[in-house]
Protein backbone atom coordinates (compact mmCIF):
# COMPACT_ATOMS: atom_id res chain seq x y z
CA UNK A 1 0.00 0.00 0.00
CA UNK A 2 1.25 3.48 -0.92
CA UNK A 3 -0.18 6.88 -0.01
CA UNK A 4 0.13 10.15 -1.91
CA UNK A 5 -0.41 13.59 -0.41
CA UNK A 6 -0.83 15.85 -3.45
CA UNK A 7 -0.63 19.57 -2.64
CA UNK A 8 -0.82 22.63 -4.84
CA UNK A 9 1.41 25.43 -3.54
CA UNK A 10 -0.19 27.97 -1.23
CA UNK A 11 -1.22 31.45 -2.40
CA UNK A 12 1.69 33.33 -3.92
CA UNK A 13 2.45 37.02 -4.06
CA UNK A 14 2.05 39.17 -7.13
CA UNK A 15 3.27 42.33 -5.35
CA UNK A 16 6.30 42.78 -7.60
CA UNK A 17 5.34 42.37 -11.28
CA UNK A 18 9.04 42.17 -12.20
CA UNK A 19 9.60 39.01 -10.12
CA UNK A 20 10.04 36.02 -12.43
CA UNK A 21 7.27 33.42 -12.02
CA UNK A 22 9.71 30.82 -10.68
CA UNK A 23 10.80 33.20 -7.90
CA UNK A 24 7.41 34.39 -6.61
CA UNK A 25 7.13 34.03 -2.80
CA UNK A 26 4.02 33.23 -0.77
CA UNK A 27 1.83 36.09 0.34
CA UNK A 28 0.65 36.36 3.96
CA UNK A 29 -2.49 34.33 3.26
CA UNK A 30 -0.34 31.63 1.65
CA UNK A 31 2.01 31.47 4.63
CA UNK A 32 -0.94 31.06 7.01
CA UNK A 33 -2.55 28.44 4.74
CA UNK A 34 0.66 26.38 4.60
CA UNK A 35 0.88 26.37 8.39
CA UNK A 36 -2.82 25.39 8.62
CA UNK A 37 -2.24 22.56 6.15
CA UNK A 38 0.64 21.26 8.26
CA UNK A 39 -1.59 21.20 11.34
CA UNK A 40 -4.40 19.52 9.41
CA UNK A 41 -2.09 16.83 8.01
CA UNK A 42 -0.56 16.15 11.43
CA UNK A 43 -3.98 15.98 13.13
CA UNK A 44 -5.03 13.23 10.72
CA UNK A 45 -1.77 11.31 10.75
CA UNK A 46 -1.00 12.12 7.12
CA UNK A 47 2.77 12.31 7.50
CA UNK A 48 5.06 11.91 4.49
CA UNK A 49 8.35 10.08 4.61
CA UNK A 50 9.37 11.60 1.28
CA UNK A 51 8.55 14.98 -0.27
CA UNK A 52 8.86 15.61 -4.01
CA UNK A 53 8.68 19.36 -4.52
CA UNK A 54 8.91 21.65 -7.52
CA UNK A 55 11.98 23.86 -7.19
CA UNK A 56 9.93 27.07 -7.51
CA UNK A 57 10.12 29.38 -4.50
CA UNK A 58 6.38 29.21 -3.75
CA UNK A 59 6.38 25.39 -3.59
CA UNK A 60 9.49 25.33 -1.39
CA UNK A 61 7.95 27.93 0.93
CA UNK A 62 4.72 25.92 1.04
CA UNK A 63 6.71 22.93 2.28
CA UNK A 64 8.58 25.17 4.76
CA UNK A 65 5.22 26.24 6.17
CA UNK A 66 3.84 22.70 6.41
CA UNK A 67 6.93 20.93 7.78
CA UNK A 68 7.11 22.35 11.35
CA UNK A 69 3.76 20.78 12.27
CA UNK A 70 4.79 17.29 11.19
CA UNK A 71 6.73 14.78 13.27
CA UNK A 72 10.01 13.52 11.87
CA UNK A 73 12.02 14.79 8.95
CA UNK A 74 11.05 13.35 5.59
CA UNK A 75 13.47 13.20 2.70
CA UNK A 76 13.01 16.36 0.61
CA UNK A 77 13.80 16.22 -3.09
CA UNK A 78 13.54 19.39 -5.16
CA UNK A 79 12.41 18.38 -8.62
CA UNK A 80 12.81 20.99 -11.38
CA UNK A 81 10.71 18.72 -13.64
CA UNK A 82 7.66 19.42 -11.41
CA UNK A 83 7.71 23.15 -12.19
CA UNK A 84 4.50 23.58 -14.21
CA UNK A 85 4.54 19.86 -15.05
CA UNK A 86 1.67 18.11 -16.75
CA UNK A 87 0.15 14.85 -15.50
CA UNK A 88 2.44 12.54 -17.49
CA UNK A 89 5.59 14.18 -16.12
CA UNK A 90 4.16 14.15 -12.58
CA UNK A 91 3.38 10.44 -12.95
CA UNK A 92 6.91 9.73 -14.23
CA UNK A 93 8.46 11.60 -11.27
CA UNK A 94 6.22 9.81 -8.76
CA UNK A 95 7.10 6.40 -10.21
CA UNK A 96 10.67 6.98 -8.95
CA UNK A 97 9.57 7.69 -5.37
CA UNK A 98 10.94 5.49 -2.60
CA UNK A 99 8.71 6.37 0.37
CA UNK A 100 5.50 4.67 1.45
CA UNK A 101 3.83 8.03 2.07
CA UNK A 102 4.90 10.59 -0.51
CA UNK A 103 3.96 14.24 -0.61
CA UNK A 104 4.15 15.98 -3.97
CA UNK A 105 3.94 19.78 -4.17
CA UNK A 106 3.29 21.32 -7.56
CA UNK A 107 1.39 23.78 -9.72
CA UNK A 108 -1.78 24.21 -11.71
CA UNK A 109 -3.01 23.47 -14.28
CA UNK A 110 -1.07 20.20 -14.26
CA UNK A 111 -1.74 19.21 -10.66
CA UNK A 112 -5.53 19.48 -11.07
CA UNK A 113 -5.49 17.22 -14.10
CA UNK A 114 -3.05 14.84 -12.40
CA UNK A 115 -5.32 14.54 -9.35
CA UNK A 116 -8.38 13.95 -11.53
CA UNK A 117 -6.65 11.27 -13.57
CA UNK A 118 -5.08 9.50 -10.57
CA UNK A 119 -8.24 8.63 -8.66
CA UNK A 120 -10.96 6.17 -9.61
CA UNK A 121 -13.67 8.34 -8.00
CA UNK A 122 -13.23 12.05 -7.31
CA UNK A 123 -14.04 13.37 -3.84
CA UNK A 124 -17.39 15.04 -3.28
CA UNK A 125 -16.00 18.52 -3.10
CA UNK A 126 -16.80 21.22 -5.65
CA UNK A 127 -13.24 22.58 -5.37
CA UNK A 128 -11.56 19.36 -6.52
CA UNK A 129 -11.78 20.06 -10.27
CA UNK A 130 -10.45 23.61 -9.78
CA UNK A 131 -7.69 22.57 -7.33
CA UNK A 132 -7.19 26.06 -5.86
CA UNK A 133 -4.01 27.12 -4.08
CA UNK A 134 -3.29 24.88 -1.11
CA UNK A 135 -5.68 22.17 -2.26
CA UNK A 136 -4.54 18.83 -0.87
CA UNK A 137 -5.61 15.34 -1.88
CA UNK A 138 -4.74 12.26 0.15
CA UNK A 139 -5.09 9.07 -1.87
CA UNK A 140 -4.14 5.44 -1.33
CA UNK A 141 -2.90 3.01 -3.95
CA UNK A 142 -2.94 -0.77 -3.64
CA UNK A 143 0.57 -1.20 -5.06
CA UNK A 144 3.84 -2.52 -3.66
CA UNK A 145 6.03 -0.03 -5.54
CA UNK A 146 5.43 3.39 -7.07
CA UNK A 147 6.74 1.93 -10.33
CA UNK A 148 3.36 0.13 -10.62
CA UNK A 149 1.38 3.38 -10.41
CA UNK A 150 -1.09 4.18 -13.15
CA UNK A 151 -3.95 6.58 -13.70
CA UNK A 152 -7.32 5.67 -12.17
CA UNK A 153 -5.78 3.54 -9.41
CA UNK A 154 -6.18 5.90 -6.45
CA UNK A 155 -8.76 5.72 -3.69
CA UNK A 156 -9.48 9.09 -2.08
CA UNK A 157 -8.93 9.28 1.67
CA UNK A 158 -9.34 13.00 2.04
CA UNK A 159 -9.41 16.31 0.21
CA UNK A 160 -9.23 19.81 1.65
CA UNK A 161 -8.67 23.40 0.64
CA UNK A 162 -7.19 25.78 3.23
CA UNK A 163 -10.35 27.83 3.73
CA UNK A 164 -12.16 24.65 4.84
CA UNK A 165 -9.71 24.09 7.68
CA UNK A 166 -11.16 25.23 10.97
CA UNK A 167 -8.23 26.47 13.02
Task: Count Cβ atoms below 10 Å from residue 44 Cβ, excluding itself.
Answer: 12
Give CA–CA dist 162/146, Å, rounded: 28
Going from N- to C-terminal start, the domains of the chain cover 47-132+148-154
Q: Which backbone phi and psi does 166 adopt, to 5 degrees?
A: -90, 110
Percentage, residues of the chain above pLDDT 70 = 99
* pLDDT at 162 exceeding the cut of 60: yes
Mean pLDDT within 7-11: 97
pTM of the model: 0.96
pLDDT one-digit tens code per residue, 71-108? 988 999 999 999 999 999 999 999 999 999 999 999 99
Under DSSP, the state recorded for 63 is: H
* CA geometry: angle 66, 71, 72, nearest 5 deg: 105
Question: CATH topology for 47-132+148-154?
Answer: Rossmann fold (3.40.50)
Query: Terminal CA-to-CA distance of the chain, rounded, Å?
Result: 31
pLDDT at 67: 97
CA 71 vs CA 65, 81, 133, 164: distances in Å:
14, 27, 24, 23
pLDDT one-digit tens code per residue, 15-54? 888 889 999 999 999 999 999 999 999 999 999 999 999 9
Amino acid sequence: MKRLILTRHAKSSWDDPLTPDHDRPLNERGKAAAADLGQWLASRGYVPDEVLCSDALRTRKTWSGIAPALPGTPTLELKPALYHAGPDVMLAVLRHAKGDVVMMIGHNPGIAEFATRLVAQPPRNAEFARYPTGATLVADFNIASWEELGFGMGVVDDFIVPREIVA
